Amino acid sequence: MQHVGAEPPDPPALRHTADRSRRIALDQCAAAPNADASRMPPAPALLTRDGLDALLAALHADGFRVLGPTVQDGAIIYDDVVRVADLPVGWTDRQDGGSYRLERRDDTAVFGHTVGPYAWKRFLHPPLLRLWRAEPGADGVEIATDAHAAQPMAFLGVRACELQAIAIQDKVFLHGPFVDPHYKARRQGLFIVAVNCGQAGGTCFCASMQAGPKAEAGFDLALTELADGFLVEAGTARGAVLLDRLPHRPASEEEQQQAAAIVAATAAQMGRHIPDAAALPALLLGNLDHPRWDAVAQRCLSCGNCTQVCPTCFCTNVTDTTDLTGATDRTRRWDSCFAVDFSYIHGGAVRPAPRSRYRQWMTHKLASWVAQFGTSGCTGCGRCVTWCPVGIDITEEVAAIRAAPAPAAAAPAAPQSPP
């Protein structure tokens, strides 16, 4: 895999116009994730780059931990940001199967890149989490749990495919029969500033998965980067309250048309696509013995990279570790269906071969996920293609099976009556 990068390159005074009642309204809205979308927000506005700095300052002033794209270790990853200078200003990425590199742009675009190896799930569903600690005490065993983080988070630069991924994980962790308290605590009060994509990556296929490139729902504010600033739309009441505190003006009709044209051009630039995604469950579940599974298994390293960078994969393993004092920590960490031990039961692994493990991942992601959660588990972000060391392309695998589906199995012969 190619992974080439380089090193990356005062906010103005914030115009505060909100009174006490607005601040109380913002705090109340923060109690529910992206709540009150039914209250129609104002018309699109234009925010300058100084206004973007003001947005960051306002989020920090309201007590949020603000996370956004930054340039680190030769990639664009999500980390704490304080001002616009912390963002990947003037950087872009080039992605293909098994290939990722950063390049300098010929302008100072703030969001002129796509998605990197990090997904937002690492902050809502962390890779390693201590569930509880048991220690010997005077009255027996004492069990303690870590306190949930009290500081709410704000995500800046969330793409449409990632909004869809967050909605999918909400279905898994919040809207099923069992609610994950750790995910719920992190999700509660989350403020989301989305960004409509101004360019598509070489491995993007969100348009064919109906997950982008325009953010349609699930955000508080959404930005589209123009030459002279950012067209901003409020998606919730608390988003509108915050926008009212920022230096902005109404967006002209021409600016709104420019924003729409940028999104339309991005949709036409997709580096990959999966036609007729709604037909994938029937296609894949009807081809479980297709020879293509053997072909891809010859290339697959079973490294699990695709599951680690995927914004929707949620599998975990729970382990207990005891130290010399007799205390035990129970921890949960990300796991992968590509690991042999992932399917281990008494007597051995259910899926010992790479063929069965890749088939399990792909059919679950694109097919059986629909039966479980009512939606596909793929948002077309392309990370699994970019970060696969051998460049296995999920869109290519779908196309190969679709081009030559396995013949339908013959119906079993009816039993004959004995003479």
pLDDT digits (tens, 9 = 90+) for 251-267: 999 999 999 999 999 99
Mean pLDDT is lowest, of 40-44, 149-153, 309-313, 346-350, for 40-44
Quote the distance between the C-alpha of residue 393 and its chain's center: 19
Mean per-residue pLDDT for 8-30?
A: 35
CB burial readout 125-154, b (16+ within 10 A) else e: beeebeeebbeeeeeeeeeeeeeeeeebbb
Of the pLDDT bands very low, low, confident and very high (cuts 50, 70, 90), residue 407 is: low
Q: E strand or H helix at 276, and its extent? A: none
What lies within 8 Å, CB to CB, of 52 at 6+ separation is 84, 110, 223, 230
Question: Tell me, what's the pLDDT at 288?
Answer: 95
Between residues 137 and 190, the one the model is more confident about: 190
Mean per-residue pLDDT for 42-58?
A: 93
Question: Tell me, what's the pLDDT at 13?
Answer: 31
Mean per-residue pLDDT for 66-94?
A: 97
Mean per-residue pLDDT for 18-34?
A: 37
Q: What is the average pLDDT value for the chain, to the nearest integer?
A: 88
Note whether 82 and 53 are within 8 A (CB): no
Question: Tell me, what's the pLDDT at 271?
Answer: 87
Between residues 342 and 137, the one the model is more confident about: 342
CA atoms of 161 and 379, how far apart (whole Å): 5
Mean pLDDT is lowest, of 27-36, 90-99, 174-183, 279-288, for 27-36
Question: Tell me, what's the pLDDT at 24?
Answer: 30
Which pTM does this prediction carry? 0.86
Question: Tell me, what's the pLDDT at 408?
Answer: 58
Of the pLDDT bands very low, low, confident and very high (cuts 50, 70, 90), residue 39 is: low
CA atoms of 113 and 89, how far apart (whole Å): 10
The percentage of the chain sitting over the pLDDT mark of 70, rounded to a whole number, equals: 87
Give tens-digit pLDDT for 168-216: 999 999 998 899 999 999 999 999 999 999 999 999 999 999 999 999 9
Q: How far is the CA of 77 from the CAs of 93, 107, 122, 153, in angstroms?
A: 12, 21, 11, 16
Question: Tell me, what's the pLDDT at 223?
Answer: 98
The percentage of the chain sitting over the pLDDT mark of 90, rounded to a whole number, equals: 78
Of the pLDDT bands very low, low, confident and very high (cuts 50, 70, 90), residue 23 is: very low
Amino acid at 176: G
3-state secondary structure of 188: coil
